[in-house]
Amino acid sequence: MRHQGFTFKKLKFASFEFTCCEGCQLQLANRESTLINFLELLDIRNFRELSSEQHNNFDIVFIEGCISRHDEVDRLIKIRRQATTLIAFGTCACFGGVNSMKNKFSIEEVVAEVYPDMVVETLPVKKISDVVTVDISIPGCPVSKEEVERIVVSLVTGSQVTLPKYPVCVECKAQLNTCLFELGEICLGPITRGGCNAVCTTGKTPCLGCRGPSEEINMPAFLELVNERKLNLEDLREKITFYNAFEGFINYEA
Ligand code: SF4
Ligand code: SF4
Ligand code: SF4
């Protein structure tokens, strides 16, 4: 097939959802202005928001959501066997996401509170890489449509897949925003991977770190910034644990 002047083979593509809101898949399906071009790159084998096709061997699989039930573990392992490249798609898949709040309580407490009159099988939340090997991670709650399309083009053309290494602050400063630290807020922009175009901070909402740690995260310097300004450490703890994206970086004395 030819597309914009070059020849390529369509990749057999599937997207599957696990525990999540399906907002990341919706981001792709909703982008009507580029959807047709995007679909021309792919042989859609399974993607329930776009197609009724159902097959079981794939070049690329997007896994959206985290794992929170035994049957999801089995299903994910089966999909991994059927896929050449498995991509953790969105913050829930990459880190556990908002669902990870459940892990702050015992499973018994959670079930009693949320489903008091039902028998519910549920597990502590796991990210996808806790269960199977992940080849590529695309963070974001939701993902950036532009970034996903760019990555798919890289895969189709056999180019290197990259994510921005710089933190959100770089994009925030480029938009000439007043820093929210100057307004007395804690913002995770200095420690979070860029690529969202600082969408939250441009809207005057602090970054909660949905894209996870930036490549050269400097947690001590960030904590010094928070401490120097005598900002609320409970607020920091809530923000930094919100998406479970800083696991391994939060062994600090708050
Ligand atoms: S990462 Fe956010 S938008 Fe995507 S599925 Fe999870 S909760 Fe929904
Ligand atoms: S508001 Fe947040 S993202 Fe923007 S410059 Fe300040 S710390 Fe960085
Ligand atoms: S500003 Fe932070 S929380 Fe908002 S989309 Fe970007 S990385 Fe996610």
* Cα(189) to centroid(ligand 2), Å: 5
Structure confidence at residue 2 (pLDDT) = 54
**183 to each of 173, 201, 205, 231, how far by Cα in Å?**
15, 12, 11, 11
Average pLDDT, the chain: 92
Phi, psi of 223 (to 5 degrees): -65, -35
Q: For the chain, how far is it from start to end, CA to CA, in angstroms?
A: 56
Nearest ligand (C-alpha, residue 225):
2
* The pLDDT of residue 1 is above 90: no
200 lines ligand 3 (CB under 6 A): yes
Structure confidence at residue 4 (pLDDT) = 58
Q: Is 169:116 a contact under the CB 8 Å cutoff?
A: no
* Cα(222) to centroid(ligand 3), Å: 17
**Token pair for residue 30?**
């909703």
Give the residue from 87, 208, 95, 96 showing the smallest Cα distance to 147: 87
- How far apart (Å, rounded) are the C-alpha atoms in residues 118 and 120? 6
* The pLDDT of residue 6 is above 80: no
Structure confidence at residue 94 (pLDDT) = 98
* Cα(229) to centroid(ligand 1), Å: 32
Nearest ligand (C-alpha, residue 197):
3
The pLDDT tens digits of the residues spanning 29-65 come to 887 788 888 888 899 999 988 888 888 899 999 999 9
- Residue list, ligand 1 pocket, CB within 6 Å: 20-24, 64-65, 90-92, 97-98, 141-142
> Residue 190: is the preceding peptide bond cis (ω within 30°)?
no
Structure confidence at residue 159 (pLDDT) = 92
- Residue list, ligand 2 pocket, CB within 6 Å: 168-169, 172-173, 177, 179-181, 187, 189-190, 198, 201, 207
The residue that leads in pLDDT, 94 or 34, is 94
Query: Probe ligand 3: pick from 166, 177, 191, 196, max atoms within 8 Å of CB?
Result: 196
* Cα(67) to centroid(ligand 1), Å: 13
The percent of residues above 70 in pLDDT, for the chain, comes to: 96
Structure confidence at residue 5 (pLDDT) = 61
* Cα(160) to centroid(ligand 1), Å: 25
Q: How many residues does the chain have?
A: 254
User: With bands split at pLDDT 50, 70 and 90, how would you rate the model's confidence at 212?
Assistant: very high
For residues 222-238, give the mean pLDDT: 95
Longest Cα–Cα distance of the chain, Å, equals 60
159 three-class SS: coil
Structure confidence at residue 253 (pLDDT) = 47
Close Cβ partners of 86 (under 8 Å, ≥ 6 residues apart):
61, 63, 79, 80, 128, 132, 133, 134, 135, 136
With 0.85 as the threshold, say if the pTM is over it.
yes
H/E stretch holding 224 reads helix 219-228
**Token pair for residue 76?**
């994910």
* Cα(210) to centroid(ligand 1), Å: 10
- How far apart (Å, rounded) are the C-alpha atoms in residues 87 and 98? 19
Lowest mean pLDDT of 49-53, 145-149, 210-214, name the range.
49-53
Determine the atom of ligand 1 nearest the C-alpha atom of 91. Answer: 1
Domains of the chain: 2-157 (3.40.50.700), 168-241 (no CATH)
CB atoms within 10 A of CB 142: 23
142: left (phi over 0), alpha (psi -120 to 50) or beta: beta
User: With bands split at pLDDT 50, 70 and 90, how would you rate the model's confidence at 213?
Assistant: very high
Question: Token pair 């401490």 is at which residue?
Answer: 227
Q: Is 24:18 a contact under the CB 8 Å cutoff?
A: no
* The pLDDT of residue 225 is above 80: yes
Determine the atom of ligand 2 nearest the C-alpha atom of 201. Answer: 1
For residues 137-157, give the mean pLDDT: 94
43 three-class SS: strand
Question: Token pair 């047709």 is at which residue?
Answer: 36
* The pLDDT of residue 22 is above 90: yes
146 three-class SS: helix
**Token pair for residue 48?**
């329930």
The percent of residues above 90 in pLDDT, for the chain, comes to: 80
For residues 125-150, give the mean pLDDT: 96
The pLDDT tens digits of the residues spanning 184-202 come to 999 999 999 999 999 999 9
The pLDDT tens digits of the residues spanning 156-173 come to 989 999 999 999 999 999
Burial category of 54 from C-beta neighbours within 10 Å (exposed 0-12, middle 13-18, buried 19 and up): exposed
